[in-house]
Amino acid sequence: MTIADSKSDRLASLLGRLQALCDTGYALAIHIRLTRPTLLYQTYDAAWSDHYSENGYMLSDPVVHWGLENAGTVFWADLADKDPEGVLKSAAAHGLHHGWTIARGDRFDKTIAGMTRSDRAHTAEEQVEIQEIVAEIHAMTADFVTWPPALQEQARRLLL
């Protein structure tokens, strides 16, 4: 197995673990530099993703704003007063409950992850595990722009 194969396999394994922990999905924007993430993975239902895009929610999403301005974690319920456009209410109407967000890095190189479950909030142990997964993905992809083009493409296609 090559180093490239092991990176790709490890990334796929970590994303699979996130999916297992987030039954209604997650969004993971990795290494946001300037205005774009280097990698973006989303497993939310397509109806929500389409609705989010069609309504331009990224511009007013309190989760995105919080993630760009902070490092750490926040529960979506704690951002309700910062949501005049009703993004979080709309997310709940689309089945995204018990949401929380992790933000890592600084304002020049940020990774933001939004996590949801249908039945309950993540346990403290699950939150720790998810934070460790996001930290590992953030660290292992720090040099993504230097990965061979085939490996970059393979990483981009992991959830397609």
CATH superfamily of 3-155: Transcription factor LuxR-like, autoinducer-binding domain (3.30.450.80)
Among 34, 13, 22, 101, residue whose Cα is nearest residue 61: 101
pLDDT confidence of residue 4: 58
> Does this model's pTM top 0.85?
yes
Q: What are phi and psi of 118, to 5 degrees?
A: -85, -35
pLDDT confidence of residue 35: 82
Tell me: pLDDT of 145 over 70.
Answer: yes
pLDDT confidence of residue 41: 97
Distances (CA, A) of 104 to 24, 72, 111, 155: 22, 7, 5, 20
**What's the rounded Cα separation, in Å, for the pair 51 and 55?**
6
pLDDT in tens, 94-128: 999 999 999 999 989 999 999 999 999 999 999 99
pLDDT in tens, 39-59: 999 999 999 999 999 999 999
User: Residue 8 — very low, low, confident or very high, per pLDDT cuts 50/70/90?
Assistant: confident
Tell me: pLDDT of 160 over 70.
Answer: no
Tell me: pLDDT of 3 over 90.
Answer: no
Q: Percent of the chain, pLDDT > 90?
A: 91
pLDDT confidence of residue 38: 95
Domain positions in the chain are 3-155
User: Residue 5 — very low, low, confident or very high, per pLDDT cuts 50/70/90?
Assistant: low
Residue 1 vs residue 49, higher pLDDT: 49
C-beta atoms surrounding 118 within 10 Å? 12
Arithmetic mean of pLDDT, 67-81: 97
Arithmetic mean of pLDDT, 25-32: 97
